[in-house]
Structures are given as structure tokens and as C-alpha cells.
Amino acid sequence: MSKTQRILALLLAVVMLTGLAACSKPNTETGTAANTSEEPQKEITINFPSIWVGKDSKAGIMSELISAFNQENTGKIKVVVEEIGDYQAYRDKMRTNITTGNVPDVFTFDNASETQLFFRSDKLMDLSSYLNEGWKNDFIASAIKDVTFDNKIMAIPYEFGVTPVWYNTRLLEKANVTEIPKTYTEFFDMCEKLKAAGIAPTSQMTGENAWTSMLWYSQLVVAIGGPDVYKNGFDDPAFLEAAKIMQKMYQYTTKDAVGATAGVSAGHWINERTAIFMNGPWFVGRLKNEGVNNMYDVVEVAPAPVYEGGKGQEGGYIGFIQAYIGAAKQTDKAKEAAVVKFLKYITSPENVKKVSLASGAMFVVKFDLGSADNVEKLQAQMIEQSNKAPYIVPHFQGNVKPAVASEFPQALSGLILGDKTPEKFIEQLKRADSM
Amino acid sequence: MRKTYKDYIGMLVFLLPAIVLFAAFFLYPVGYVVVTSLLKWDGITKATFVGLNNYKLIFTDEVFLTSIKNNIIWALAGGLIQVPLALMIALILARKPRGWKIFRTVYFFPNIISGVALAMMWSAIFNDEYGVLNGLLRIIGLESLQRNWLGDLHSAFPSLIIYWLFYIGYFMIIILAEISSIPETYYEAASIDGASKLKQDLFITIPLCKGSISTCMTLAMVYGLRQFEQVYMLTNGGPANKTSVMVLYLYKQIQNYRYGMANASGVVLIIIGALVIITIKKLFRVEKYQM
Amino acid sequence: MKTAKNSLETTERKDIIVTKPKKPLKVFISENAKSIFKWGLLLFFLMYTLVPMLWLIISSLKTNTELMGSHFSLPSKLQFGNYINAFAVSGLGTLFLNSIIISLAATLLNVLVAAMAGYVISRFNFKLKEGIFTMFITGILVPINALMVPYFTLITKLNLYDKKIGLILTYAAIGIPMSVYIIRGFMNTIPAELEEAAAIEGCSFYQRFFKIILPLSRTGLVTAGTFQFLLCWNEFIYAMLLTSSVKSRTIQLGVRYFSNQFTTDYTSMYAAIVISIIPSIIGYIIFQEQIISGLTNGAVKG
């Protein structure tokens, strides 16, 4: 017995030692993993960590499209999807991948300020030549401008989101409100009526990334300061003014708004505990499935109100690219061609249309809708309103550094609880910006 | 006893695996953390050496200072409240009251449930609209105490710690295990001398399980200093950064592409932790049997 | 022990015999204060620890709308569909099996390695001893979240990315400081005479470890092992970071399957959590018996 145990212990030590040895000779074996496609006949594998999996509204159609692509290219190209549903985990992993130089062949990211960083990494594929061959005509021109860096196009703009105001008209009627408010004065009158009728007017939240409240703040900043407000930085008085309006907004929400998460604030709305909500087209599916008392039938979407005396215009929209597709720089030309082929495939107007109709999502790829196409009611309203909008400005989070975006919920909760004055609120954001 | 040549070989063989694993997964990464804490680096573009500037930045950041304070409070509450509570329950269960096995088993359950579920439930309990805690206060006529527990400047952090303190199962088990190994004869002698149960606990049991108490205290304080998941899930540091803790601060800096500051706060955490552990080790010098 | 039991019996008798004139409540409380306090305490903690389990199970049988509607009500109709959803997660069986393999292997490796190191540190005197021990325990406080970049680099360099052994090694290593700390503490309490006697009888270094020290520090091994197993079973960040396919991923990724960028299907997620904790509970009950049998051997120590 003792002998075998001694051998076991020794064996273990040997295993550990070989582990160490492998550790100390780094670059010999690892390089090969990345370049497995050197032999010409071999099937090219494209790895694609994807968030469009699991319960995501695009999961089903994406998986169909990718299987179809793999079938078409059997023996030549194979796209292997790595499923990462959890969004925070996805971001952690992509960031780590890029930092360590293991950029996935195809991946997605969402933030405009991240875009800048990734472009400067020198690890992304330069897609300019391919896009300039005419491919870029499939996209809305302004979206292409967003991803052009030093005259190079380094990523593909893809999914688009707009976030209008969602009104539950049944609750509005209960408070004798029949008109959707056009101005913030009317809006707060409405809130007052709702409150008097015992209905909490809006869903707000400062938990997580303060999503819904961050969108309201974005609406206010643009309504007050106009579409170019971000160019002036936080010194623009619109940011301060909007903070003051946010304080007022929080008088018309649920008691648990400070600290509430997206689950809580959305939960209030779909259970008819609040009348007004703000979110994007992806929420339609949930509204349909989970909204109480057939709530879906009584919901209307509308642009946010106009701020009297502000530089914003009626019908202005908050809209942003929420998924860019990036690709790793490839040394192997054949693989580069394969990646481009796949990218062209998932961004083709025909396929994007399929994804859009199946999921309710919006895209910066242009496609024609025929009368036969069954467009979802609220989605159609959002498309119409955004087409009419005098301007579409990205949300606050997309216009500022990641550090400012992550400080926003803390600054906002401090503002609402009276820990910070509106001036201090702005200072806090500036500090996060400068560090 | 004198060590033989073979003993030396044995010692080396036995230490080696742990040292190799430790070197690969701690020394190298910590070296990396220390080095990058001296850089201004976004993780993507070129880094620049900035010396101790990141340390200056975090130590002038109110949020980081709050985080340190919160961690220290958490660690002390763990060591001085949670562990004594666990000890008390262990002493009760050691006398094998009716159903003690059930208690012992059930008390451990929260450690098995994933932290996600625990956090979701407590955020619902603390909620101001439909939370159970406010409901209870209403029933017993203490409406004035009702509040948005996790969204209030004053109650958020205490709520976060207090609910946690009552999960004592893990420590209770460790202490109970050691109590059960105390020979019965000690107590028999004490009973003959007429010592009360309380006295027996104070003068026999507690001194004899000093080892496991100190283990638990270390673990509880380490938990306090390393706390992340519950805070991340329940408050994400809010409101107004009042519930921030060091690891959360660090994680947010990584998400903000500020590896330098993130890793500087990591180094600070390691140093504070080492100080705490060494202090406890000194306080609870257990008698050692050595060859 | 006896008094505790007696006082319990007396309380019960009082409840049963109603014909006797009742003592005033005050007197009853003061006579049984200790016992009331004790049972109050035990029951409070019982509730406190049981409620989350019950809540989780009840919530896992609701619809999402019900859950958001009222977090503490009973479901109007039991939604077993959530469990069907959870079982439908692609490769749940594989994820489950992987979790068991990875957690067990990492725990065994970790406890063995830590026990070996703990033995040397606890039982022998040598020059670097304090230094090595201090180095190990300082590792307890290393914030693992900060190590994503170095761990990813290490694992890809070792060619262990997306391999179970990669996670096994990582988990076993992450737990080393804690396990060494716990196990050494327990080994310190074993009297030296036992080992000395064995050495005189001719037991080698290895025999003394495997035959004497290891069995006697079983409580410590189990304590560390439980801790380590739960760490492996519940770990998420590295399970995601260091793998890319179902063949090496763990059950925690199955649990997060229901959380996406914009929506989370909480009730199905809870069903998945319930499924995922069953092995832990079974494992715990087994380990618990281990502790007890380890303790009955306590006589050897005396």
C-alpha cells in the first residue's frame, strides 16, 4: 500500500514538473493553434462567440442562418458558435481575449467608446477594401461613418436600437389622460394626474447600469441641449438642467426606484404597477408574453416630449448601434476571405430582413418591406417614428467613456437621495471622465 | 526526533506540487498585477509607466476609501458577530438536543445554493414596494421604520451585512466538528466538581476548540475582505457608492479599461489581507506539536 | 446533555396535561427561559436558512409574470414547464457530468496537494517554513477577479484552453492557500508522540503521512474539501473564460443560459439552479457522514 502511495505522490510531482516545463517554453506550440488553416484543402473554422443564443430573441433565427451557411459551405468553411448568453461575461471574455491577443475570428461589441479602443488595438481586420467594393451601400451611411477610423473601416455596424416612450393607455385613461403628452409640462401634468389616481407614473431604476433612467436622462439632455450637445462636454448647461428634471422625474415613480434593477423596473411596468416605460424594440416580445391583462393591446410608443425653451425638436429620437461586428486580423488570406464571406452573409439585406421579422430587432442594414411582410405593430410604429425623426442621437452611455457610464448610476442615486446636488452630480461625472 | 535523509526527500516531494501550482497560479499572476499597477494601461493600446500614480489616484478616490472602510466593517462583523453566533449554536447543538442532526444539516444549505438565488431573494425581501420586511414591520405596527432598505443612504450597507451575518452554517459545522472530538472524560470530571453547563462551555469547550474558532475567524474576515458577489448582485455598490467594496471597485475599473488602477487596488487588498491574517495568527497562537 | 433533554420533556408535559391548574405565563417563562431562548434561537436559524430553499423551489414553479407580480405568493398553477425548459438547455447532461468530473477531480487534487504541503509545514521544522506558510496564506486574499488576463494567458500557453483539465488545474490551484491553511491548522493539533512512535517502529515518511496523519486529520480534509468543492461547483467567471464548448463547460453556464442581454427568464433559471444544487446536497450529506465517522475516531487521539 505504502509503495503505491509513494509512487502516486511521486507521479503527481512529476506531472506538476512537466506542467512547469510546458509553462516555460511558451511560443512553440501555442502559435499553431491559431494557424490551423495553413493547409489549403482543410476546412476553415471560424469561431464566433455569440450573445444571440439561449433566450435571446434572435437566437433561433441566427442559429438557422448559421446552419444554412455551414451547409452551403460544407467542407470549406465551418462557423463554430461559442454560446455566451450572459452579457457581462461576454464583455469580460472579449476584453480579456483582446488584451491577451486572442481575438476571436468574429465577435460583437456594443459601445461607441469601446469601438475607439478596439480600433486602436491593431488587432482587428481592416474591412475597408471589402466594404468599399459596394458592400457598404447596404448600410445606412451614417452608421458606416461611425466605424470609420483614420479612413479605415474596422467593424461592421449591425443591430440598431431606438428607445421611445412606452405608454400603457389603459392606465392613462384611468387617470383621465387621453392625449399622449407633447411637452414636458404636459408630461408632468399627466404624472400628477396618474399619481392622484394612485398609479405610479414611470418606471425608473438606478441599479445595474440604471438603464431606463439613463435613457430618460439621454432624452432630456438632447431635448434641452439639442442633438449636438455631447460635443460641448459636461460643461453644457443641458446636463445640469437634465439632472434637475431627473430629480423631478423620481417624484413620479415607484418607492423602490433607487437601487431597482432592470428586472424590477420592467416587472413593475408589465404588471401594470407603472404606466410609462422606456426601452427598445427587443422588449416587444416580453410585453407580448408577460404583460398582464393583454397589456400588449393597449400599449403605444411615442417620441419623448419636447422641452420648452430647449434646443431639441419635436419627434427627436434616441437611437444607437447596439451591436458592432468585429473580426480578428488574419494572416491567412484564405481564412480572411472566409470570414468576409460569412460577414457578408449575415449582413445581407435578405438575411437581415429575416432576423428582423423573426425577432422584432432593428438594423442599420437597409432592406425593403413588402406589404406581405408581417411587421409587428409596435415595431412598425418605431420604424415610422424614427424615419420621421428630425434627428436620432445615441444614448448617454454610448456618448461617454465606459468609466462615466459606470459612474452614472452611482451619481444618479446620490442625486435622487439628496446626497449630491445637481452641480455635484455633474462634478462626479466629470471626475470619472478625467481619471 | 531527527530527520533522516529520506525525510528530506519526502518533504521536498510533498511541498513541490503545492509550490508549483502556487507559483503558476499565484506568484506569476500577482507579479503581473504588481507590475501593471505601475502602468497607465487600458489593456489594449500601449501602456505607459506612471510609477505609483495609480496608488495616488485610488487613495484620493472617495469611492475606494469607502470600499476599504466597508470591507473592514464587514470583516470585523464577520469575525466578531458571525463567528460568536456560530459558536453559540455549535455549543447548543453539541449537547445533541432533539433533532440536532436536522438543524446541523439545514443550517448548511445556504452555502450550497448559488449566491445568485440568495441575492435575488433578499433583494425581493428588502424591496420597498412588495418586500416582506416592510410587510412584517407593518404587521407589528412599526410603519415608521419602513424604507427602501437597499436604496437608502443609511440602511443599504447595514442591510447588506446583517442579512449575511446570520448565515452561520459553515462556521458552525467547523466548530461543532472540533467540539465533538473533545473527550467526554473532561466533562465528567467537571460535572463531579459541580461546574455548571455554562462554566463547562466557557472553561473547557471554548479553550479546547480555539483552533477551529481561529480558523473560522480568519475565514470570516477573509470573506469580509473578499466580498464581491453579494454586493454585485444586490446593490452593485449603490446607492451613491455607499456599499462599494474593494473587489467590486477593482472589477469596475477593469470594465472601465483601467487595468492600472484596478491592479493597484488589487495590491492594496492583498496587503490589507496579509496584515489581517498575520494578526489573527499572532492572536491565536495554537500550541504546536512538532517533530 | 441530560438537562437539556429533561427541560424539553417538561415543557411538553405541561402542554399535554390540561387538567392541572395552569401556572401563570410569567412563571412559566421564567422557569423555562433558557429552554425557550435555546429553541427560539434554533428555530430562528432554521427558518432563516430554510426559507431561501423553499423560496427558490416555489419561485421555480411560477411564471415570470407571477414572480414579478408578487415575489412571495404561491404559484396559481405549478409551472413544471420551467423544469422542462431547464432540461432542454443544450447539453445539460454533459454540463452536469463535466461539473461533477471537474469539481471532484479539482477537489481531490487540491486536498491531496494541500495535505502533502500542510503535513510538511505542520510537522517539520526547516529554514523556509514560516516564509512558505506565510506566502501560501497571503494567497487567500488575492482577488481572483483581477487575474483574468494572466490566467487566460497561462491556460492558453499550457494549451489547456477549452479542456476540462484546464479548469481542474485552475480550481485546484485557486483553492491551495485556503486548503493549506485549514489542513495545517488541523494537523497542528495531532500530538507528536503518535508519529514518533510510528517512526521508531520503522514507518517511513510516506507511511506516517498516509497511515497516521491523513486519517487523523480527516476533519480538516473534509472541511477543506467541502469548501473547495463548493468553490468549484459554483464558480462562473473562469468556467466561462477558459472554455468555449459544451465538452468542457460546467453546469453554471447552463444556469446562466436563461440570462441574456435584455431579458432573463428567471423562473427557468431557478429551475436550473434547483437542478444544479441537487448533487451538492447529496455530496454534502455524504461528506457530513464522513465528518461524523471521522469524529468517532477521535478516541485514537486521546
CATH code for the domain defined by A42-161+320-363: 3.40.190.10
Give the residue extent of every domain in chain A.
42-161+320-363, 165-318+395-434
Distance from CA of A25 to the nearest CA of C (A): 9
**Does residue C187 lie in a domain region?**
yes
**Does residue C31 lie in a domain region?**
no
**Does residue C184 lie in a domain region?**
yes
Residue A34: is its pLDDT beyond 50?
A: no
Contact A167, A180 (CB under 8 A): yes
pLDDT, position B288? 47
pLDDT, position B39? 94
Contact list, A414 vs chain B (CB under 8 Å): 239-241
C-alpha grid cell, residue C159 = 494549451
pLDDT, position A26? 39
Looking only at Cα atoms, what is the longest distance across chain C? Answer: 81
Average pLDDT over residues A164-177: 96
C-alpha grid cell, residue A163 = 428607445
**Does residue B137 lie in a domain region?**
no
Residues B18, C180: C-beta atoms closer than 8 Å: yes
**Does residue C21 lie in a domain region?**
no
Q: Give me the DSSP letters along B223-282.
A: HHHH--HHHHHHTTT-STTTT--HHHHHHHHHHTT-HHHHHHHHHHHHHHHHHHHHHHHH
Of the residues C161, C162, C263, C266, the best mutation for testing chain A's interface (the one with the most A CB atoms within 10 Å of its CB) is: C263
**Does residue C143 lie in a domain region?**
yes
**Does residue B291 lie in a domain region?**
no
Average pLDDT over residues B240-258: 93
**Does residue C48 lie in a domain region?**
no
Residue C297: is its pLDDT beyond 50?
A: no
Q: Could you tell me if C65 lies within 8 Å of chain A, comparing CB atoms?
A: yes
Query: What domain range includes position B42?
Result: 37-115+147-283
Q: Shortest CA distance to C124 belongs to which of C135, C112, C113, C116?
A: C116
Give the distance from CA A322 to its chain's centroid: 3
Q: Give the helix/strand (H/E) hosting A278.
A: strand A274-278
* A165-318+395-434 CATH, one of 3.40.50.970, 3.20.20.140, 3.40.190.10, 3.30.450.40: 3.40.190.10
Q: Mean pLDDT, chain B, as a whole number?
A: 88
Distances (CA, A) of A217 to A114, A213, B241: 21, 6, 20
**Does residue B101 lie in a domain region?**
yes
Distance from CA of B165 to the nearest CA of A (A): 22
Average pLDDT over residues A261-290: 91
- Give A344-369 pLDDT, tens digit per residue: 999 999 999 999 988 888 999 998 87
Distance from CA of B144 to the nearest CA of C (A): 23
Distance from CA of B147 to the nearest CA of C (A): 18
Q: Shortest CA distance to A416 belongs to which of A265, A206, A216, A223?
A: A206
Region of poorest pLDDT, from A220-234, C94-108, C120-134, C184-198: C184-198
Average pLDDT over residues A304-329: 94
Nearest Cβ partner for B240 among A98, A207, A413:
A413
ipTM score:
0.88
Within 8 A by CB and 6+ apart from B186, the residues are B204, B208
Q: Mean pLDDT, chain A, as a whole number?
A: 88
Residues C154, A23: C-beta atoms closer than 8 Å: yes
Query: What domain range includes position C254?
Result: 90-301
Residue A38: is its pLDDT beyond 50?
A: no
CATH, residue B59: 1.10.3720.10
pLDDT top residue among B89 and A8: B89
Q: Distance between CA C268 and CA C295 in Å, rounded?
A: 41
Contact list, C139 vs chain B (CB under 8 Å): 22, 26
**Does residue B18 lie in a domain region?**
no
Distance from CA of C11 to the nearest CA of B (A): 13
pLDDT, position B2? 66
Q: Distance between CA B29 and CA C154 in Å, rounded?
A: 9
Average pLDDT over residues A281-301: 90
The domain total for chain C is 1
Q: Shortest CA distance to C184 belongs to which of C147, C145, C217?
A: C217
C-alpha grid cell, residue C204 = 517511513
- Please, which pLDDT band fits residue C21 given cuts at 50, 70 and 90? low
**Neighbouring C-beta atoms of residue A231, cutoff 10 Å:** 10
pLDDT, position C169? 96
Residues C159, A49: C-beta atoms closer than 8 Å: no
- Give A50-89 pLDDT, tens digit per residue: 999 888 889 999 999 999 999 999 999 999 999 998 888 8
Distance from CA of B22 to the nearest CA of C (A): 6
Within 8 A by CB and 6+ apart from A21, the residues are none
Contact list, B32 vs chain A (CB under 8 Å): none
pLDDT, position A298? 95
Does the fold of domain A165-318+395-434 match that of domain A42-161+320-363?
yes
Of the residues B6, B9, B241, the best mutation for testing chain A's interface (the one with the most A CB atoms within 10 Å of its CB) is: B241
**Does residue B97 lie in a domain region?**
yes
Residues C263, A87: C-beta atoms closer than 8 Å: no
Nearest Cβ partner for A256 among B42, B61, B127:
B127
- Give B153-173 pLDDT, tens digit per residue: 999 999 999 989 999 988 888
Residues C3, B197: C-beta atoms closer than 8 Å: yes
Of the residues A25, A45, A86, A87, the best mutation for testing chain C's interface (the one with the most C CB atoms within 10 Å of its CB) is: A86
Coil, helix or strand for A23?
helix
CATH, residue C178: 1.10.3720.10
SS3 letters across A98-113: HHCCCCCCEEEECCHH
Average pLDDT over residues C163-167: 95
Q: Shortest CA distance to C179 belongs to which of C234, C110, C253, C229?
A: C110
pLDDT, position C8? 41
C-alpha grid cell, residue A30 = 501555442
C-alpha grid cell, residue B6 = 529520506
Contact list, B57 vs chain A (CB under 8 Å): 435
- Give C208-225 pLDDT, tens digit per residue: 899 888 888 887 888 888
Contact C196, C282 (CB under 8 A): no
What do you get for the CA distance between the two ends of chain C, in Å? 21
Query: In the complex, which subunits touch C with 3 or more CB pairs below 8 angstroms?
Result: A, B
User: Can you give the pTM of this predicted structure?
Assistant: 0.88
pLDDT top residue among B181 and C196: C196
Of the residues B8, B9, B19, B26, the best mutation for testing chain C's interface (the one with the most C CB atoms within 10 Å of its CB) is: B26
**Neighbouring C-beta atoms of residue C15, cutoff 10 Å:** 7
- Please, which pLDDT band fits residue A15 given cuts at 50, 70 and 90? very low
**Does residue B151 lie in a domain region?**
yes
Contact B178, B206 (CB under 8 A): no
DSSP state of A255: T
**Does residue B8 lie in a domain region?**
no
Nearest Cβ partner for B257 among A273, A402, A413:
A402
